Amino acid sequence: MDVVFDPSAYPPLALGFFGLGTGYLVYGPHELFGYPPQSDATDRALGVWGIWLPGMCQFVAGSILFVGLSWFEVFIKSPPLYMAALAFSAYGIHWFAMGWNRYRGNEARTNAGMCVAYMVISAMGSTVFFKVGDWPVGLLFLALFVIYFCHFFSVIGVKLGERGLGLFHILTGGWLMYLTYAVAVNSSLGYHWRV
């Protein structure tokens, strides 16, 4: 006997966008303006934020999307939704590692190779979403590519890389807040904001 679930019109996109946006808005001011100042307490606080907001929110969103697309088939199968599941899951796991390393004060230069891998996944996301005409999310992935480009130079010791990282964290965090708002009002109120 096959069990069939009703389709869901509520993929957890807003949760993933919100978590990542909050993380960027927490990390960005420290990277761009040096606020709060560098200290062990700042690193621990940033680590906790990294694990629980961008890490947990994206991991949960990605897991629900993957399970809903593959096991229970409650979401419409589409390349953009698959790409969203892949990205939310991968970025969430990445933030667990980033947050933990920051919390523990571990060596940041090991992030250089990670940056290359995440530039690739960002390019994939940008390709998928621009191809299907979803420019707001395509733009997000383009910004993510720039973030990992700046992050690469930051971890190899180029000071301008950290300032660029902070600037793009803040700008992308703002864009993610728009995407969160748009998904939430579209789903809750039937609005038609561009996402």
All structural domains of the chain, each given as residue ranges with its CATH number in brackets, are 13-189 (1.25.40)
Cβ partners under 8 Å of residue 76, min gap 6: 7
pLDDT in tens, 99-130: 999 999 999 999 999 999 999 999 999 999 99
pLDDT in tens, 134-155: 999 999 999 999 999 999 999 9
Residue 1 pLDDT > 80, yes or no? no
Cβ partners under 8 Å of residue 151, min gap 6: 111, 115, 161, 165
Joined together, the tokens standing for residue 129 give: 């979403």
For residue 36, the model assigns a pLDDT of: 96
Range in 67-71, 88-92, 121-125, 149-153 with the lowest mean pLDDT? 67-71
